[in-house]
Structure 1
Amino acid sequence: MQWKNITDLNQISEIKDKQGYSLIFKHSTRCSVSAMAKRRFEMDWEAIPADTSLYFLDLISYRDISAQIAETFEVHHESPQILLIKDGDCVLDASHSDISAEEVAEVIVG
């Protein structure tokens, strides 16, 4: 699996309009907790179905996009943070040590 970088506000609309599951990982490149959460998530991400789109946001470089994500999906901004989007709605959000690829997989697989 591979991250798709979010670098443009238009990508938020694309994710919102997409059918199926998408996951957004909001990462602070200046935070060791965020780095640890990302590393832990990537170690277990094979549990996530392969047809799930994985998006990565460097929220230090793209603060405006991070703010738009929070507004669009009606979640409180946190860092690090994952949002699982299904058919345009956020069905799971987690931050810090609560970020878990296994939990994401459980929501998707049911």
Structure 2
Amino acid sequence: MQKIETVQQFEQLAETNPRFFFMKHSLTCPISSSAFTDYQAFLNNNREEDGYYLAVQEARELSNHISEKYGIKHESPQAFLFIDGKPGWNASHWNITEKELSKL
């Protein structure tokens, strides 16, 4: 799992990777902490999947960019599955679980 911090890094990722998971993680929210733990477990158990994240407090510009570009209201925590440069799935809060991610 790799941390993405800039709009440029994200745009390059979206252009070059046909399928990847992405999470907006809040460093101060206990719900986000729980979701992030499940996200990490999912990626550890599914090594063929590519996973990335941003820390909302450290990358607000990128977080806002994703919301504005794709017309998806910002939430934190929030997870996405990007397919061919567009969100094919997204969920927030308690809906981000290892079980739900494994269905994708």
What is the Cα deviation at residue 35 of structure 1? Answer: 0.6
Alpha-carbon separation, structure 2, partners of 1:52 and 1:64? 26
Does the alignment pair 1:105 with 2:102? Answer: yes
Does the alignment pair 1:13 with 2:11? Answer: yes
Does the alignment pair 1:76 with 2:73? Answer: yes
Matched residue, 2:39: 41
- Amino acid corresponding to residue 78 of structure 1 in structure 2: E
Stretches of structure 2 lacking an aligned partner (at least 5 in a row)? none
TM-score, normalized by length of structure 1? 0.82
Question: Is contact 2:78–2:96 with CA below 8 Å preserved after alignment?
Answer: yes
1:47–1:20 Cα change, 3 Å: farther
What is the Cα deviation at residue 51 of structure 1? Answer: 3.4
Provide the alpha-carbon RMSD of the alignment.
1.7
Does the alignment pair 1:58 with 2:55? Answer: yes
TM-score, normalized by length of structure 2? 0.86
- Amino acid corresponding to residue 97 of structure 1 in structure 2: W
Stretches of structure 1 lacking an aligned partner (at least 5 in a row)? none
Question: Is contact 2:39–2:98 with CA below 8 Å preserved after alignment?
Answer: yes
Question: Is contact 2:24–2:55 with CA below 8 Å preserved after alignment?
Answer: yes
What is the Cα deviation at residue 47 of structure 1? Answer: 4.5
Question: Is contact 2:81–2:89 with CA below 8 Å preserved after alignment?
Answer: yes
1:14–1:51 Cα change, 3 Å: farther
Q: Give the total of aligned pairs.
A: 104
SS in structure 1 of the partner of residue 75 of structure 2:
coil
Q: What's the % identity of the aligned pairs?
A: 26
